[in-house]
C-alpha cells in the first residue's frame, strides 16, 4: 500500500521528508520524535501543506538520511518532484533524486533527468541528463520548448546553466525520435535566467535538420514566456536599384508594461539612413500608436522628376497614427491617420500600412470617428482624407469629407399599429479643389504629358469635349453639403392561409447646400454639362407600399424540406425631382441583381432617391435535406408602373443608365445556389435582357475543399459585365480568377492563383485604332504596330510553396500582380517574397521586386 500524508512544512525539504516517516506512527510520537531528531534543522520559514506519496518510506538513523522509494511524489506548494527514488541527506541538506526524475515548477515548466542533486528548497543543485519542457502560447497556439543537456547546474532557483545543450521548439519525430529536430540551437553553454527572463547562448550553432547553417559566438534572446522585452528584433533586408542594398535593425524598448518604443535605423547604400520610430501605449480605456519615418536622400536622382516621381525632394517621410478609446460600454472614438511627403514614399521604401490599398487604384485613407451603439440604435460620425498614391491620380480631384454622420434608431410601433418604426439620418459634407471629369467613351485625353528620356507620359484623364453626351462629372469642385432624414414603418401580418403581408411606408427629406467652384483649372466647363449654382435646395419623397409572400412548404422526409415562395412588392411614390441638377457623390455604384430586387430604394447612397410607382415581382425555391444538401433558386424583375423612372434619366454621372432598370420593364435577374455539403459551395447570379434574354451581367463561383478524399482546396470565379457605353465602358468586361492549395503532406503545401483578363484584346485594339488614325492624320515617324495580346491574357498570378509545423513556418511566393502605370496601361508588378519563422526565436521576411519598373512607382531606373 502506498504511503500518503499531508503535513505542515516547517524547515524546507529536510523537515518535509522526515515528517513523512511519522505517517506510520502515532501522532504524538511524530511530534516528539521528529523534532528531537532534527535538532540541527533550519528554522521554519512559513507554513505550507505538503502531500507526499511513495510505495516505501525509510529512515536511516545511522546514516542520517531519509529515503522515499517507489514512485515517489512530493507536492509542495505549486512544485512537484517525482522520481523512482528520493534520498535526503540531513547533514548536507541535499536532496538526491534518481530514476525518471521529473520536477514541475510553479510556472508549469517541466524538468526531467536521470539524476538530480538539489538543495532542500529546490533552488540549487546539479542535474544529469537534463530535459526541460515549457508550454507557452504564441499567436493563439500552444508551443512547447525543450532544452536538453548532459549536465546542468541550478543556482539559487533563478539561474540554470546547461553544458553542451540544445534548444528547440520542435516536437521529436514519433517514428524516429533519435533523429535531430527540424531546427535546433546547439551551444557549449546555455544560461537561462528566470529573474531577467533571458536565455544566453555561448559558442552556438543553428542547425537545420542536423546540418549547421549559422554560427554565433554569443547571443541572447528573451525567455519564450516573455512577450515584451527590450532588445533587437529580426532584421529587415532591402535591395533595389533605387535604394541599393540595405538592412534595418529594429530595437525594441520596453519602457513600461503599458507602453513601448521601437527604433529602426535602416542603412541603404544609395540613399543613406532611413529612420523609423514607433511608439505604442495602452491606457485603461484604449490604446494608440504613432510611427514616424524619414530620410535625407543621398541620391534623389534615382527617382523620376515630378510629377512622375520625387527626384526634386531631398527629405522624404511619413507619419502614421492609430488610436481607439472606449468612452463607456456604448461609445468609442478613435483615428487612423497617415500623412506622406509624396505619393511614392511608402512604396519606394517598402513601408506598409493597413490603410493603404494596393490594387489598380492606390490611396491612403485617413479617418477619425466617434461611434455609439445602443440595443437598437447606432450613431457614427467620421471625417475622411484621401491621399492618392498613384502617379495617374490627381490629388486636387480627391475630396476632403467631413463630417459624415449616420444615425439609425429602431423602436416598436405604438399601439394599435405595432410593427417597427425606424428613423435614419445622414449628414455629409465634402470639398474638392477641381472637378473630376471622365470622357465617354474614354478618349485618352489628359491634362499633362510630361516627358522623361524622350518618352511622353500622359497624366490625369479628362474629356475631349465638355457636353452632356460626351463627358461625365464624377466629382464636383467646391463644397457640397447634404442633410437627409427618413422615418419608416413596417409590420408583417400572417393570415389564415399562411400568406405574409408586410405593409410599409416611409418619408424621406433631403436638404442640399451647394457651393460649386467655377474658377481655376477646368472647373468652369462643368456649366456645359449641368446647371450648377450656389443654392439651397430641398427634396421630399413620401412612399407607401406592401410586400406579399406566400411560402408553400413540403416535408419529403429524406428528400428534404422543399419551399416555393412567390414574392410581390408594390411601392407608390411621386417622381424624383431635380435629377441631374444636384451633385451625386455617394450613389454612383448601382448594381441591379437579386440582392437589390426587393430593396425599397435601389440607389446605393443618399444623393439619389428612387421615385415613381414600381412593382417588384419574383419568387424563390429552396430545399434542405437531412444530409446537409442545400439548394436555392431565385428569379424576378422590376416594373415601372407610373411616374418618372429614376433610372431612365441619368444624372451628371449618368447613374441609372445601362443599369437594367432604365426601361419600363427591367432586365430579369436571378440566382442559383447549391451546397451539397459544408465543403462545396456554388453560386451564380445573372441579369438577362428583357427582350432578347441577352446576357448583360453574369457572376459564378465555386469553392471546394476535397478533404479527406483529396488534400486540395480550390476556388474559381468568373465574371461577365456587358458594355455600358453611357458609363464609359464601350466593351464588355470579362475575367476569370482561380486559386488552389494542394497539401502534399500534412506539413508541405503548394499554392497558386491566376487572374485572366478575357477582354484585354478589345482595349488593345481600340488603342491601336486611335493611334493609327492619328498617324494617318499626321504621318510622322513610324506607324503604330498592332500587338495582339491574345484571347486569354494572364493579368496576374501567384505561385508559392511552403512548410508549416508546430515550430517552423517557411514560405516562398512569386506574385505577379496588375498595376496601372502613369500612361494608363496595365502592367505587371513582379515580387518574390520569402518568409521564415522559427517559433520562439523570431521571423524574417525578404521581399524583392523583379523585372522592369514602370513610372507608376516613381523610380527612374530598372530595379
Domain definitions of the chain by residue range: 3-223
The span from the CA of 855 to the CA of 863, in Å, is 12
pLDDT digits (tens, 9 = 90+) for 410-429: 999 998 899 999 999 999 99
| Whole-number pLDDT of residue 32 | 29
Residue 844 DSSP symbol = E
pLDDT-derived band at 855 (thresholds 50, 70, 90) equals: low
Is the pLDDT assigned to residue 353 strictly greater than 70? Answer: no
| Whole-number pLDDT of residue 71 | 85
Is the model more confident about 384 or about 63? 384
Query: Average per-residue pLDDT in the chain?
Result: 84
Is the model more confident about 677 or about 22? 677
Is the pLDDT assigned to residue 161 strictly greater than 90? Answer: no
The span from the CA of 137 to the CA of 114, in Å, is 28
Residue 325's nearest CA partner among 315, 316, 336 is 336
Kindly state the average pLDDT of the residues 34-42.
31
pLDDT-derived band at 665 (thresholds 50, 70, 90) equals: very high
pTM: 0.81
Q: List CB contacts of 14: < 8 A, sequence separation 6 or more.
A: 38, 41, 42, 88, 90, 93, 120
Q: Of all residues in the chain, what percent carry a pLDDT higher than 70? A: 87
φ/ψ bin of 634: left (φ > 0), alpha (ψ from -120 to 50), beta (otherwise): beta
pLDDT-derived band at 229 (thresholds 50, 70, 90) equals: confident
DSSP letters, 385-443, are EEEE-STTS-GGGSPEEEEEEEEEEEEEPPTTT-SEEEEEEEEEEEEESS-EEEESS--
Is the model more confident about 826 or about 797? 797
Helix (H) or strand (E) segment spanning residue 219: strand 211-222
pLDDT-derived band at 361 (thresholds 50, 70, 90) equals: very low
Among 321-335, 516-530, 810-824, top mean pLDDT goes to 321-335
The span from the CA of 69 to the CA of 431, in Å, is 85
Is the pLDDT assigned to residue 635 strictly greater than 60? Answer: yes
15: three-class secondary structure by DSSP: helix
Kindly state the average pLDDT of the residues 282-287.
95
pLDDT-derived band at 176 (thresholds 50, 70, 90) equals: confident
The span from the CA of 86 to the CA of 116, in Å, is 9
The span from the CA of 673 to the CA of 687, in Å, is 15
Kindly state the average pLDDT of the residues 295-318.
91
pLDDT digits (tens, 9 = 90+) for 546-562: 999 999 999 999 999 99
| Whole-number pLDDT of residue 695 | 95
| Whole-number pLDDT of residue 789 | 75
Among 58-62, 183-187, 306-310, 771-775, top mean pLDDT goes to 183-187
How many CA atoms within 13 Å lie on the side-chain side of 772? Answer: 9
Burial of 732 (0-12, 13-18, 19+ CB in 10 A): middle
| Whole-number pLDDT of residue 99 | 87
Kindly state the average pLDDT of the residues 510-522.
92
Is the pLDDT assigned to residue 155 strictly greater than 50? Answer: yes
Burial of 731 (0-12, 13-18, 19+ CB in 10 A): middle
Supply 319's cell numbers: 507619419
Is the pLDDT assigned to residue 7 strictly greater than 90? Answer: no
The span from the CA of 622 to the CA of 631, in Å, is 5
Kindly state the average pLDDT of the residues 210-226.
83
Amino acid at each position: 500500500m502506498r504511503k500518503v500524508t499531508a503535513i505542515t512544512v516547517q524547515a524546507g525539504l529536510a523537515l518535509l521528508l522526515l515528517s513523512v516517516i511519522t505517517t506510520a506512527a502515532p501522532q504524538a510520537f511524530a511530534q516528539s520524535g521528529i523534532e528531537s531528531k532534527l535538532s540541527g534543522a533550519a528554522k521554519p520559514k512559513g507554513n505550507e501543506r505538503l502531500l507526499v506519496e511513495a510505495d516505501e518510506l525509510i529512515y536511516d538513523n545511522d546514516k542520517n538520511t531519509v529515503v522515499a522509494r517507489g514512485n515517489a511524489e512530493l507536492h509542495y506548494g505549486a512544485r512537484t518532484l517525482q522520481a523512482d527514488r528520493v534520498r535526503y541527506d540531513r547533514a548536507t541538506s541535499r536532496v538526491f533524486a534518481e530514476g525518471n526524475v521529473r520536477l514541475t515548477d510553479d510556472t508549469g515548466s517541466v524538468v526531467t533527468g536521470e539524476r538530480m542533486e538539489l538543495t532542500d528548497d529546490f533552488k540549487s543543485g546539479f542535474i544529469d541528463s537534463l530535459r526541460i519542457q515549457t508550454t507557452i502560447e504564441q499567436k493563439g497556439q500552444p508551443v512547447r520548448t525543450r532544452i536538453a543537456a548532459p549536465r546542468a547546474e541550478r543556482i539559487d532557483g533563478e539561474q540554470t546553466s546547461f553544458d553542451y545543450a540544445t534548444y528547440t521548439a520542435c516536437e521529436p519525430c514519433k517514428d524516429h525520435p533519435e533523429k535531430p529536430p527540424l531546427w535546433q540551437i546547439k551551444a557549449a553553454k546555455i544560461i537561462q535566467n528566470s529573474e531577467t527572463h533571458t536565455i544566453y547562448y555561448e559558442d552556438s550553432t543553428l542547425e537545420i535538420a542536423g546540418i549547421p547553417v549559422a554560427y554565433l559566438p554569443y547571443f541572447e534572446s528573451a525567455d519564450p514566456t516573455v512577450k515584451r522585452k527590450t532588445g533587437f528584433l529580426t532584421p529587415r533586408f532591402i535591395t533595389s536599384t533605387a535604394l541599393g542594398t540595405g538592412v534595418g535593425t529594429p530595437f525594441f524598448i520596453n519602457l513600461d508594461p503599458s507602453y513601448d518604443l521601437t527604433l529602426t535605423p535602416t542603412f541603404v547604400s544609395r540613399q543613406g539612413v532611413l529612420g523609423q520610430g514607433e511608439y505604442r501605449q495602452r491606457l485603461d480605456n484604449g490604446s494608440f500608436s504613432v510611427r514616424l519615418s524619414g530620410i535625407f536622400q543621398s541620391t534623389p536622382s534615382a527617382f523620376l522628376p515630378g510629377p512622375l516621381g520625387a527626384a526634386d525632394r531631398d527629405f522624404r517621410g511619413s507619419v502614421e497614427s492609430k488610436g481607439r478609446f472606449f468612452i463607456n460600454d456604448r461609445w468609442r472614438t478613435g483615428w487612423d491617420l497617415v500623412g506622406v511627403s509624396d505619393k511614392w514614399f511608402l512604396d519606394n521604401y517598402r513601408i506598409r500600412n493597413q490603410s493603404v490599398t494596393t490594387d489598380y487604384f492606390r490611396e491612403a485613407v485617413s479617418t477619425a470617428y466617434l461611434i455609439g451603439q445602443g440595443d437598437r440604435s447606432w450613431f457614427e460620425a467620421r471625417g475622411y482624407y484621401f491621399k492618392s498614391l498613384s502617379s495617374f491620380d490627381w490629388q486636387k480631384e480627391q475630396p476632403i469629407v467631413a463630417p459624415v454622420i449616420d444615425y439609425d434608431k429602431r423602436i416598436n410601433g405604438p399601439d394599435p399599429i405595432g410593427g417597427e418604426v425606424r428613423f435614419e439620418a445622414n449628414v455629409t459634407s465634402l470639398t474638392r479643389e477641381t472637378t473630376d471629369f471622365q470622357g465617354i467613351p474614354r478618349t485618352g485625353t489628359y491634362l499633362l504629358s510630361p516627358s522623361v528620356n524622350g518618352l511622353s507620359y500622359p497624366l490625369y484623364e479628362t474629356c475631349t469635349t465638355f457636353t452632356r453626351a460626351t463627358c461625365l462629372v464624377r466629382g464636383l469642385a467646391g463644397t457640397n453639403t447634404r442633410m437627409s432624414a427618413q422615418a419608416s414603418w413596417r409590420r408583417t401580418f400572417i393570415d389564415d392561409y399562411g400568406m405574409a403581408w408586410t405593409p410599409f411606408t416611409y418619408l424621406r427629406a433631403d436638404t442640399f447646400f451647394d457651393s460649386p467652384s467655377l474658377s481655376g483649372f477646368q472647373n468652369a466647363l462643368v456649366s456645359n454639362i449641368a446647371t450648377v449654382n450656389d443654392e439651397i435646395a430641398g427634396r421630399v419623397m413620401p412612399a407607401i407600399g406592401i410586400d406579399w409572400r406566400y411560402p408553400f412548404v413540403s416535408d419529403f422526409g429524406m428528400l428534404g424540406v422543399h419551399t416555393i415562395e412567390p414574392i410581390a412588392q408594390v411601392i407608390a411614390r411621386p417622381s424624383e425631382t431635380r435629377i441631374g441638377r444636384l451633385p451625386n457623390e455617394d450613389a454612383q455604384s448601382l448594381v441591379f441583381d437579386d440582392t437589390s430586387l426587393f430593396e425599397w430604394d435601389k440607389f446605393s447612397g443618399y444623393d439619389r432617391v428612387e421615385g415613381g410607382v414600381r412593382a417588384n415581382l419574383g419568387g424563390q425555391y429552396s430545399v434542405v435535406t437531412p444530409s446537409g444538401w442545400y439548394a436555392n433558386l431565385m428569379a424576378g424583375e422590376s416594373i415601372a408602373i407610373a411616374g418618372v423612372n429614376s433610372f431612365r434619366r441619368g444624372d451628371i454621372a449618368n447613374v441609372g443608365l445601362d443599369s437594367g432598370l432604365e426601361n419600363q420593364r427591367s432586365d430579369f435577374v436571378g440566382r442559383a445556389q447549391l451546397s451539397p455539403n459544408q465543403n462545396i459551395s456554388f453560386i451564380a447570379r445573372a441579369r438577362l435582357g428583357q427582350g432578347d434574354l441577352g446576357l448583360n451581367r453574369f457572376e459564378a463561383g465555386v469553392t471546394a475543399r476535397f478533404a479527406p478524399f483529396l488534400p486540395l482546396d480550390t476556388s474559381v470565379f468568373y465574371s461577365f459585365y456587358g458594355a455600358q457605353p453611357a458609363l464609359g465602358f464601350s466593351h464588355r468586361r470579362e475575367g476569370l480568377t482561380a486559386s488552389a492549395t494542394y497539401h502534399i503532406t500534412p506539413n508541405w503545401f503548394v499554392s497558386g492563383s491566376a487572374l485572366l483578363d478575357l477582354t484585354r484584346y478589345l482595349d488593345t485594339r481600340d488603342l491601336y485604332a486611335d493611334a493609327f488614325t492619328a498617324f494617318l492624320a499626321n504621318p510622322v515617324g513610324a506607324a503604330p504596330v498592332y500587338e495582339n495580346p491574345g484571347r486569354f491574357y494572364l493579368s496576374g498570378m501567384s505561385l508559392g510553396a511552403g512548410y508549416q509545423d508546430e515550430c517552423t513556418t517557411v514560405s516562398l511566393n512569386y506574385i505577379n500582380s496588375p498595376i496601372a502605370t502613369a500612361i494608363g496601361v496595365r502592367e505587371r508588378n513582379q515580387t518574390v517574397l520569402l518568409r521564415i519563422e522559427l517559433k520562439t526565436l523570431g521571423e524574417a521576411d525578404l521581399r524583392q521586386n523583379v523585372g522592369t519598373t514602370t513610372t507608376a512607382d516613381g523610380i527612374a531606373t530598372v530595379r
